Structure 1
Amino acid sequence: MALRDLPHPLLRDRRAGVLLHPTSLPGEGEGGTLGADAYRFVDFLSDCGFTLWQMLPLGPTHLNRSPYQTLSVHAGNPELIDLDDLVARQWLSHEHRFNESPKQARRRAADTFFSRYDQHPEWAEGFERFCLEQRQWLDDYALFMALRDCYPEGDWTHWPDDIRLRRAQGMARMRRELSHSIEAYRFEQFIFNQQWQALRDYARKKQIALFGDMPIFVAHDSADVWANQSLFQLDAAGQPLTVAGVPPDYFSENGQHWGNPHYNWDEMQANGFRWWRQRVNTQLLWFDLVRLDHFRGLEAFWEIPAETPEPRLGRWVEAPGKALLNSLFREHKNLPLVAENLGFITEEVEALREAFKLPGMVVLQFAFDGDSKNPHLPHNYKPHTVVYTGTHDNDTSLGWFCSQDEAAQNRLLDYCHHSHDGMPQLLVRLALSSVANLAVIPLQDLLGLNSEHRMNRPGTEEGNWLWRFVWPQIPPHLSQTLVHWLTLYGRPPNLPLEHSRL
């Protein structure tokens, strides 16, 4: 495949980036926000010469905090909203900023916003324009969230029948009764969008492209499933007939039971994949590049009977991935997609990926099992590839190396000519020096952090998605070192984004 045939120009240059979810930024409270530390991180990336910031899905999460099981595929996570910005706009007092929960503070800011609505026509114009432009998902999302507050016990399948089944009379009644809460949830999304677009504009000025992540499946307890029940395999009570997961693989010897309901692909295809096209449009409002998580599920998905907790009892079922991708690429000729093609990958999956000229992924932590034909070894890479030292699902590279036996460690050292570089610097330089056009390094590996700083352990429920860094962890001369490495390996520091436009 010639590089000029790649579907998006950002995928043509040799670039490097850092993987860090915004919740892992420093700051007050339980997670990072889109505030001052996010802008400082963009500055850090620029100072180091990186031109990509990759992150995980941005949606509002359930209590387990997993960004891969969100309450909406369109909404932004309101926990990322910078409350200091609301104080600066005089919608929130310092007292309430620090003495109330973030949700209470956001609700108070919404009350102030609407109480002064008539005095500020520019507020009204901006808010109403946002609500109009995003109405295809925002109305259902705001009502869904208000209903969750109203019925906190159980998911939407436990709601009264007229609401669960979305009967017109019941829906109209709840929209009237919950109008105040609905407007507050709309306000949250309005503010999230404003703060996100301001951060994205700042990143563009610093020549930093934002690289997002789109899970292939959606959570059962979500606005998307409740509002589009015919598009999912559900029984009469709204419960999944089959659920998603994967068979035993590198990440889990027993397989994984994700619990996401499978799509009713026949219904989706009959309406021209409208739901998918709307979903992709949302991602393009946020990101310059998008990783399609679990890409292999577009060729065939692992279908687990809903009544069994055993992933290994599932089966592969063919999916209409070619028809879906044809529909998406008809709407966006240069769709900036990267395929996550890890795990059990067949020739059919790779054929689908290559048919649409989508770069795949390789992970150096997977490279030193097996023989010289291992596709994760750098000498087997092709340029239209994204290389990682590890992903959010992996241990940190230092933790991974320390967990390997002596033979595996020696294979890595031998492959790297017994370099005097320590770990994880050795793996970082191996990624940056490879022929893969895009190289992405988790921040933990740049900082040389051990297993205590891991983001996620697949197949486990507790202790995930909580990791955050602090600024003192960044060595004083790290930026100089990284600029040198990026220059040495032909990944020009601060490569202008204009070089990658059509």
Structure 2
Amino acid sequence: MAKKVKSKRACGVLMPIFSLPSKYGIGAFSKEAYEFVDFLAKTGQSYWQILPLGPTSYGDSPYQSFSTFAGNPYFIDLEKLVEMNFLTEEELEKVNFGSNDTVIDYARLFKTRYVVLYNAFVKSGLSVDSTAEADPKFKKEFDKFVKDNTDWLPDYALYMSLKKRYDGLSWVEWSEDLKLRKKEALEEAKAKHADRIKFHEFIQFLFMKQWFDLKAYANSKGIDIIGDIPIYVAFDSADTWANPKLFQLDKKNMPIAVAGCPPDAFARTGQLWGNPLYKWDYHESTGFKWWLNRIKGCYKLYDVIRIDHFRGFDEYYSIPYGDPTAENGKWVKGPGYKLFEVMKKELGDIRVIAEDLGFLTPSVLKLVKKTGFPGMKILQFAFDAREESDYLPHNYTQNSIVYTGTHDNDTTLSWYNTIPREDKRFAKKYLNIKTNKDVVWEFIRATFSSVSNTAIIPMQDYLGLGKEGRINTPSTLGNNWTWRMKDDALTDELAERMLDMARTYGRSANV
């Protein structure tokens, strides 16, 4: 039986892996990640919330991944590969991973990281190009990993190998036989790309080994990991290519309709996400087998799961494929509680956070309540001087997770400096803000003093950052997912202030 989300008062920090400092261009499972865990423990935190761990595709968004099961190779700690004699310090010093230690250069990472990892693969002894034999213990562990993950790893490794063969093109632009997964074409590709396939299995083995080591360390310090999973998978992914029956695709495996959001005040023509929509009747006929496997996989990776766009389980927005905007979409009934009923029966009392933001219909609210999952409260959404808001702290319930903002929001400081004058006046009055230097900490205080069981604060707000610390601006492409924390950001002074806040409002894990 899985543990419940902690019902006692607790707090945590939202901090993506990629935003950690490191020597090699992007945050990783390196010593800095372990130091961050130590910092969380020292400041009384119970949770570290991260963003999806999957390999990113075009646009660098962790919410558009090549696989819902695989891990991002960029997060592999290269220093550990030096310790394993798969790389040398001299080799790494010759590679330019990016000169700016506060901004991720994804284009440079794409050009350099896979080359470095392939060199490690050759030195591991697993490649046909290796001159040395693989260490027996390492090879035994690797072989076991491959054997234990046959439900997703072979398709993913082949898919990534074929993407390399087709210069990164989406699978719909591959040869017709491969696009439609004709048996003979697949067998030929497996034989032709055997070494490249093993390389991607090698990468995933390293990723999982390093992540589970880091997670075990966090758990040993009393820190639970909150993982984030998108409701949808990317169209250009191993998931869609390998499992076309799960999605609303035609006989040529092209989408019939795609996901998105209708027009609103923020997006005049709506949001066209382009993800394939699930064929929910098929999923139900299998007892939601794929979803059960997905959630099981997530429970190995994380302690708690935040499911993005929870509304889509009640009703999802369906846009005809090929439409240039989301204006002609329609709402269609989703699986509702049936999916979660099966999950709870098969997996026990699962620990889930429902991302229930945005416009919510009575049926969505009913679904969230029936599941018993805590919903989300965003303090930045509270201060509209024109109307009473459910996001004002006096309207919260205990079974909720409160944030100052999320990865899709501006930092609290930048947001506050740009809101209308009336909204700012209301926020000042409600939060008793005396001077501008108190703004962010008064927002943090409001989340901590609320009745919500859990308060999660983005690291950028603790650091008092402005717009330079923003992670993502929805419906925009470029300049997202690039923020990195400075190496000297986690000071003793900040730790003391965070711990004091946690203790003051009964949220400290080390009272």
Q: TM-score range by the shorter chain?
A: over 0.9
Q: Are residue 82 (structure 1) and residue 98 (structure 2) matched?
A: no
Q: Are residue 73 (structure 1) and residue 73 (structure 2) matched?
A: no
Change (3 A) 1:119 1:54: closer
The one-letter amino acid paired with 1:102 is R
Q: How big is the shift at 1:90? A: 0.5
What are the equivalent positions in structure 2 for 1:59-458 lying under 5 Å apart? 59-100=54-95, 101-113=112-124, 114=126, 115=130, 120-152=135-167, 154-249=169-264, 252-369=267-384, 373-419=388-434, 422-458=438-474
1:361–1:387: 8 Å Cα contact kept in structure 2?
A: yes
| Cα offsets for 1:348-378 (capped at 9, x unmatched) | 0011111110000010000012567411010
Change (3 A) 1:305 1:171: same
The one-letter amino acid paired with 1:276 is W
| Cα offsets for 1:125-144 (capped at 9, x unmatched) | 21111111111000000000
1:483–1:493: 8 Å Cα contact kept in structure 2?
A: no
Q: How big is the shift at 1:344? A: 1.6
2:411–2:465: 8 Å Cα contact kept in structure 1?
A: yes
2:180–2:252: 8 Å Cα contact kept in structure 1?
A: no
Q: Are residue 43 (structure 1) and residue 38 (structure 2) matched?
A: yes
Question: Given the alignment, which residue of 17, 21, 28 partners 1:26?
Answer: 21
Indicate the SS of the match to 2:319.
strand
Give, in whole Å, the separation in 2 of the partners of 1:83 and 1:69: 25
| Cα offsets for 1:324-346 (capped at 9, x unmatched) | 11111111111111100001211
Unmatched tracts of structure 2, length 5 or more: 96-111
Q: How big is the shift at 1:412? A: 0.9
TM-score, scaled relative to structure 1: 0.94
| Cα offsets for 1:393-436 (capped at 9, x unmatched) | 00000001000122111111111234557111111111111110
Give, in whole Å, the separation in 2 of the partners of 1:269 and 1:213: 24
Q: 1:486: which partner in 2? A: 502
Indicate the SS of the match to 2:460.
helix
Give, in whole Å, the separation in 2 of the partners of 1:82 and 1:330: 38
Give, in whole Å, the separation in 2 of the partners of 1:211 and 1:242: 31
The one-letter amino acid paired with 2:117 is R
1:250–1:343: 8 Å Cα contact kept in structure 2?
A: no
Range with bigger deviation, 221-230 or 42-51: 42-51
Q: How big is the shift at 1:247? A: 1.7
Indicate the SS of the match to 1:431.
helix
The one-letter amino acid paired with 1:66 is S
Change (3 A) 1:475 1:406: farther
Change (3 A) 1:451 1:251: farther
Range with bigger deviation, 466-475 or 389-398: 466-475
Change (3 A) 1:253 1:207: farther
1:7–1:357: 8 Å Cα contact kept in structure 2?
A: no
Give, in whole Å, the separation in 2 of the partners of 1:236 and 1:78: 33
Indicate the SS of the match to 1:302.
strand
Question: Given the alignment, which residue of 483, 492, 496 partners 1:467?
Answer: 483
Q: 1:500: which partner in 2? A: none
Q: How big is the shift at 1:7? A: 8.2
Give, in whole Å, the separation in 1 of the partners of 2:311 and 2:132: 48
Indicate the SS of the match to 1:297.
helix
Give, in whole Å, the separation in 1 of the partners of 2:409 and 2:320: 28
Give, in whole Å, the separation in 1 of the partners of 2:251 and 2:245: 11
2:257–2:277: 8 Å Cα contact kept in structure 1?
A: yes
Range with bigger deviation, 293-302 or 270-279: 270-279
Q: How big is the shift at 1:61? A: 0.3
Indicate the SS of the match to 2:56.
coil
Range with bigger deviation, 220-229 or 87-96: 87-96
Give, in whole Å, the separation in 1 of the partners of 2:132 and 2:70: 23
The one-letter amino acid paired with 2:495 is S
Q: How big is the shift at 1:95? A: 2.6
Aligned-residue RMSD, C-alpha: 1.8
Give, in whole Å, the separation in 1 of the partners of 2:94 and 2:231: 39
The one-letter amino acid paired with 2:4 is P
- Counting aligned pairs with the same residue, the percent is 39
The one-letter amino acid paired with 1:88 is E
Give, in whole Å, the separation in 1 of the partners of 2:289 and 2:122: 35
Q: How many residues align?
A: 490
Q: How big is the shift at 1:312? A: 2.5
| Cα offsets for 1:8-41 (capped at 9, x unmatched) | 4333121101111100111133311111111111
Change (3 A) 1:365 1:307: same
2:385–2:422: 8 Å Cα contact kept in structure 1?
A: no
1:252–1:458: 8 Å Cα contact kept in structure 2?
A: no
Q: How big is the shift at 1:494? A: 3.5
Indicate the SS of the match to 2:274.
strand
Unmatched tracts of structure 1, length 5 or more: 1-5, 496-502
Q: How big is the shift at 1:245? A: 0.8
1:337–1:358: 8 Å Cα contact kept in structure 2?
A: yes
Q: How big is the shift at 1:314? A: 1.1
Range with bigger deviation, 371-380 or 431-440: 371-380
Structure 1 stretches (4+) deviating beyond 3 angstroms?
115-119, 248-254, 370-373, 417-421, 473-476
Give, in whole Å, the separation in 2 of the partners of 1:103 and 1:165: 28
The one-letter amino acid paired with 1:47 is K
1:207–1:494: 8 Å Cα contact kept in structure 2?
A: no
Q: How big is the shift at 1:160? A: 1.2
Give, in whole Å, the separation in 2 of the partners of 1:72 and 1:389: 30
Q: How big is the shift at 1:96? A: 2.4
Give, in whole Å, the separation in 1 of the partners of 2:132 and 2:313: 46
Give, in whole Å, the separation in 1 of the partners of 2:69 and 2:93: 29
